Copies of this chain bind each other. A is one copy, B any other.
């Protein structure tokens, strides 16, 4: 069989193995578990190992490459955990159908410099996807579809299925204090769409500026800009956004329950203040309650909307509580905004897919949603506690911030500059650790900022590898924080 003509890379130890297709594995340096893993990952990433390709047995590959069988098995196992490979009893190991997805960092969590996936992933932004309750979700989907009348598969109300909206109204009242009836809820394909609709409606009402917290998701600012609106940035301190600085803005986008990424809750003083401001000026409050379900050490902070349903557009999402891929969020509209938002939804995408709506309704009604959130909350609290314990055990000079809720913590870096932060994030990649610097979320970007911190998400490392990931992180931080 001819050598793979497409592979022109040299390297200390190129070896050829039979993979259904001929493939030259690029085993750099000492051929071992890591080198083999890297080579397989690279081959899957760039398509030389195509989706569905069956890998040789560990015995065969070990013998071909002159490695111990355990070494090959360990490499396979790691790649299965990462989603590159799929292993099934009886049908061997093969390349996953969606290698780019199974293995790539999602766009939001991707390292700012776009670096490829690393072994220890502490980027924030997604829940632990291995916890997604696949079995229960499937069962709920089956029950929901079996019960749905044919008409439910047609074009629904642009707001979404009435049954789901009713179930959400009940859930949001109970879990988040939100005051809503089903009529005022609009099902969206994610928070991004909710913001897109709101920004469009505001623009059509001649709004010009929306205030955002000076740390937040860059995408949200892009959504607002795409609607033709300017953003102004409100600083965030220990009491949350400095809403006392709001002036002529037409709206403000807030994360009151758990500021992203700084982790503080909006103080009751500020809550009162911003409600007063909105009532006085007629501005809209947009509440992004992205992870309101996950609070660990004290009573949940109720939604801001609970205090003034007529001033607040409240948005929640299944992206953190279940999975971002679901593409499900809910927007509770103040009465004065509802018909405009519905019209915007109608000309934006007509409706959000009903199949997942049917399933989520069933999931809420049968109690599976509550149970899942409860279990996830316990699991995340354990992960957070382990992370905090690791920091304490190593006597690291770091007081983590924003630890009371959510899926990430903040660790300040001693060298207080954005440049120092970038240096640390880059250095981490050399230790196979993916980190995100706080400056990634700063608006407007400020290379001269005098703060430096890491936004450490603790949901991505697989459960069985969390301990090892923490060890790696601890080892790295010991050096990095000492600088």
A325 touches B154 (CB 8 A): yes
For residue A101, which residues in chain B have a CB less than 8 angstroms away from its CB?
A: 149, 151-152, 154, 156-157, 161-162
A134 touches B138 (CB 8 A): no
Q: How far is the CA of A304 from the CA of B343 in the complex (A)?
A: 31
Whether A222 sits at the interface, judged by CB under 8 Å, is: yes
Which residue of chain B has the shortest Cβ distance to A80 in the bound complex?
B149
Q: How far is the CA of A98 from the CA of B166 in the complex (A)?
A: 11
- In-complex Cβ contact of A354 among B142, B155, B327 (8 A): B327
- In-complex Cβ contact of A219 among B109, B129, B350 (8 A): B350
Which residues of A in the span 177-236 have a Cβ within 8 Å of any Cβ on B? 188-190, 192-193, 196, 200, 219, 222-223, 225-226
For residue A104, which residues in chain B have a CB less than 8 angstroms away from its CB?
A: 151
Copies of this chain present: 2
Which residues of A in the span 362-395 have a Cβ within 8 Å of any Cβ on B? none
Whether A108 sits at the interface, judged by CB under 8 Å, is: yes
Which of A151, A161, A347 has the most chain B CB atoms closer than 10 A to its own CB? A151
For residue A468, which residues in chain B have a CB less than 8 angstroms away from its CB?
A: none
B189 touches A352 (CB 8 A): yes
B126 touches A196 (CB 8 A): no
For residue A219, which residues in chain B have a CB less than 8 angstroms away from its CB?
A: 346-347, 350
- In-complex Cβ contact of A86 among B84, B147, B225 (8 A): B147
B192 touches A325 (CB 8 A): no
Whether A43 sits at the interface, judged by CB under 8 Å, is: no
A-B contact pairs, 28 of them (CB 8 A): A83-B149, A83-B150, A83-B151, A86-B147, A96-B149, A97-B147, A97-B163, A98-B151, A101-B162, A107-B155, A129-B153, A130-B150, A132-B153, A134-B145, A137-B145, A189-B189, A189-B349, A189-B351, A189-B353, A196-B347, A219-B346, A219-B350, A225-B347, A226-B344, A325-B355, A327-B352, A327-B353, A355-B356
